[in-house]
Structure 1
Amino acid sequence: MLLAGAAVAAIEILHRRYDGAVARGTLLDPSARRDRTDLDGTLNYLLVGSDRRPGESGPDQRSDTILLVHVPAGTKRAYLISVPRDLLVSIPPAPNGYGGGSDKINSAYEHGGGGEAGVRLLSATLARLTGLRFDGAALVDFAGLRQVVDLLGGIRMCVDTPVRSIHTGRLFEPGCQQMDGTRALDYVRQRYDLPDGDYGRQRHQQQLLRAMLDRAGETNLRDDPVRLDRLIRAVGASLTVDTNGVPLQDLALTLRGLPPDGLTGVQIPSHPETIDEVSYVVLDDGGDQLFAAVRGTRVPGWVTANPRWVTRL
């Protein structure tokens, strides 16, 4: 009885330690929030990667990455739907005085004031665009993920075309290669030197998430509690989450059976277009069909019928 009691107490202490490492926030606008999340049903999450730097929280930051994560009931598959950062959308008014209007979707984060308020306006914009309500959201400091990749011992990324970094001048040669956090984050932020521009960048960021899951599965962290502690705290330092009232440990238990090879990357049917000398991405009819498939839990069928917009990760 004493040993059992000690084990229960130890588990509770560990839970509180790691649960407290992740910041909580209100990231979803009421118009974008699902009334009640059923972990046994279909789940839709919003993942926002910000280019903010540590200590910066002003409105002059834009959302560097926007992903809709669709998990059908059973949690054996997940679809990572990348939203083009230059997608032309209608942004609703914000409490900070922004009056709303047409703009690139990654501007919604800035118009909302950055941080949690910025994600709320972005979520309202996406709810208006897609007709979806979300089961939760996460704001990820992509620069902070550098440490996570390093603690995993680096990840394996396959470069599909030569690209030179506009940030460092580094040339990424084609081929599969081991990358540390700095190199990996630099690679997945490039778009100007890619043949397909931001669409290639979306694909590379989807591949980054797959590579991180692969590496985490290969590493037996349970046998290295010090490293596990550092990794969990690094992840927590990079995240602000809104789980729609679901305990974080329950969500983790639900998603833990999702295999890395169960991920599929999806891009929204769209095309570049210059309007009044400004470059935008404009939604195609297929984009509305994709959103309807997500709302109607018919994404597997849509993926089969639209291979052009699908990335096998």
Structure 2
Amino acid sequence: MTKSAKRRAPLWSRLTLVFGCVFLVLSGATLVTGQALMSKYAGAVTDNTLLDEQPAEAATKKDLKGPLNILLVGIDPRDESTAPLSDSIIVAHIPEDRSRAYLFSMPRDLYVDIPSFPKAGVNAHQAKINAAMALGSQIGNGKYDVKQGFQLLSKTVSGATGIKKFDAGAIINFGGFKKIVEAMDGVDMIIDQDVASEHLQPNGKPRARKPSCQGHHRCSRPYTGPQKQYKKSNKPVHLEAWEALDYVRQRYGLPRTDYDRQRHQQQFIKAMAKQAMSKDVVTDPGKLLKVAGAAGDSLTFAGGQHSIVDWALELRSINTDDMTTINLPGGGYQPNGDYLGEKFYPEVDEFFVAVRENRVAEFLLDHPTFVNNEG
């Protein structure tokens, strides 16, 4: 594929900001002369134990070669006394030729095999994939370690997809997403369907809880009163940070529930990437440092033996136009009439084979419905 001149944002010594939100930090590091921005990105917590590995210093560094798979997890802010839930699980697959990136989501309610994990006293069993991180994070005495939980989640996603090992991983909390969008003064994205907020009023304040749902968490939909509305638009709509994060959280009332939410989260990633590479950000050193700082404070990153800058250099040719978001079809799993979670349809196994064999492009030519309609 021939790259046009405008596909990269010219800046100083050709700064590359790639992939947006998580990718903005993970691989959109800095190819600039000044060290300030690099130090901001270096502020991201780097911990290779996410991948259940020894720190990079303990291994011989090897080049990044072949197809790459990166596991990206979004969590709500949690303290060490609250089990973390992986509310957003996205895998980024980059083929060997580095021509583009493919993003696909694992539904939070996907019913999967969770392997044994002695560190947390977890026996092998079946459950919703969202439970893996919470279970794996248990360190005793009512305390939880998010990074340890990521290890079990990674093993669980590997089992579900057949991807033997992830080359990099990242955890970012949704409060971090909000900080990044705030630093960019909001984000412009297409609203592809009418969405009503389950959580917020039109002014952004939390909705009231129903009288019968006060003081406990046994209600599945505990809120009442006016709702923030997001109206379908064929043109990008400007969203403030709180609006963007609220929009991509929603699943209740949507025709395809969590599958619609997954699509919106992927669209959000692309919109943030596009915004990060816009002139409003990349030509404003102050704003760029602010964005980088917000991202770094909210991210835990593992790049195997490679730093964020190494990843930026490796993936510098990939731009927002080179990102394809994938729809993995599935539906409710009710073997005995009781809903246990979600299951992918059989053709998704073929997609995972294509990922493992580095032929996703060919698969999508034969299965065009797997490509999300971005509006």
Aligned partner of residue 334 in structure 2, secondary structure = strand
Please, which moves more after superposition, 57-66 or 200-209?
Answer: 57-66
The match for 1:271 is 331
Aligned partner of residue 75 in structure 1, secondary structure = coil
Answer yes or no: is 1:96 the counterpart of 2:132.
Answer: no
After superposition, the Cα gap between the structure-2 partners of 1:195 and 1:269, relative to the gap in structure 1 and judged at 3 Å, is closer
Answer yes or no: is 1:120 the counterpart of 2:122.
Answer: no
Does the aligned pair in 2 maintain the 1:264–1:312 contact within 8 Å?
no
Offset of residue 259 of structure 1: 1.4
The match for 1:68 is 91
- Residue pairs, 1:182-261, within 5 angstroms: 182-261=242-321
- For these two proteins, the number of residue pairs brought into alignment is 298
**Distance (Å, rounded) in 1 between the aligned partners of 2:37 and 2:290:** 15
- Residue pairs, 1:80-95, within 5 angstroms: 80-94=103-117, 95=119
Q: CA RMSD in A?
A: 2.1
The match for 1:7 is none
Offset of residue 38 of structure 1: 4.1
Aligned partner of residue 41 in structure 1, secondary structure = coil
Offset of residue 39 of structure 1: 2.5
Offset of residue 284 of structure 1: 2.2
| One-letter code aligned to 1:152 | M
Which blocks of at least 5 consecutive residues in structure 2 are unaligned? 1-31, 54-59, 138-144, 201-226
Please, which moves more after superposition, 266-275 or 210-219?
Answer: 266-275
The match for 1:5 is none
Deviation track 1:191-225 (CA, whole Å, cap 9, x = no partner) reads: 11111111110100000000001111113545432
Offset of residue 15 of structure 1: 6.4
Which blocks of at least 5 consecutive residues in structure 1 are unaligned? 1-9
The match for 1:47 is 72
| One-letter code aligned to 2:355 | V
Deviation track 1:84-104 (CA, whole Å, cap 9, x = no partner) reads: 111110101221112221000
**Distance (Å, rounded) in 2 between the aligned partners of 1:212 and 1:16:** 20
| One-letter code aligned to 1:178 | H
- Work out which of the residue numbers 91, 108, 117 in structure 1 matches 2:132: 108
| One-letter code aligned to 1:303 | L
Looking at secondary structure, tell me which structure has more helix per residue: 1
Does the aligned pair in 1 maintain the 2:111–2:340 contact within 8 Å?
no
**Distance (Å, rounded) in 2 between the aligned partners of 1:146 and 1:19:** 17
**Distance (Å, rounded) in 2 between the aligned partners of 1:67 and 1:265:** 10
The match for 2:140 is none
Aligned partner of residue 238 in structure 2, secondary structure = strand
**Distance (Å, rounded) in 2 between the aligned partners of 1:84 and 1:248:** 27
- Residue pairs, 1:33-44, within 5 angstroms: 38-44=63-69
TM-score (norm 2): 0.75
Aligned partner of residue 116 in structure 2, secondary structure = coil
Offset of residue 268 of structure 1: 2.4
**Distance (Å, rounded) in 1 between the aligned partners of 2:258 and 2:109:** 9
| One-letter code aligned to 2:171 | L
Of all paired residues, the percent bearing the same amino acid is 35
Does the aligned pair in 2 maintain the 1:23–1:239 contact within 8 Å?
yes
**Distance (Å, rounded) in 1 between the aligned partners of 2:37 and 2:284:** 17
Aligned partner of residue 65 in structure 1, secondary structure = strand
- Work out which of the residue numbers 197, 212, 221 in structure 2 matches 1:165: 197
| One-letter code aligned to 1:21 | G
Offset of residue 292 of structure 1: 0.7
Aligned partner of residue 199 in structure 1, secondary structure = helix
Deviation track 1:4-36 (CA, whole Å, cap 9, x = no partner) reads: xxxxxx958436622431101221246xxxx98
Offset of residue 52 of structure 1: 2.6
| One-letter code aligned to 1:73 | E
**Distance (Å, rounded) in 2 between the aligned partners of 1:269 and 1:87:** 11
Does the aligned pair in 2 maintain the 1:163–1:173 contact within 8 Å?
yes
TM-score (norm 1): 0.89
Offset of residue 312 of structure 1: 4.3
Please, which moves more after superposition, 86-95 or 124-133?
Answer: 124-133
The match for 2:171 is 139
Offset of residue 306 of structure 1: 1.8
**Distance (Å, rounded) in 1 between the aligned partners of 2:38 and 2:197:** 41
**Distance (Å, rounded) in 1 between the aligned partners of 2:84 and 2:355:** 29
After superposition, the Cα gap between the structure-2 partners of 1:27 and 1:224, relative to the gap in structure 1 and judged at 3 Å, is same
Offset of residue 280 of structure 1: 0.9
- Work out which of the residue numbers 84, 98, 101 in structure 2 matches 1:78: 101
Does the aligned pair in 1 maintain the 2:188–2:239 contact within 8 Å?
yes
Looking at secondary structure, tell me which structure has more strand per residue: 1
| One-letter code aligned to 2:188 | R
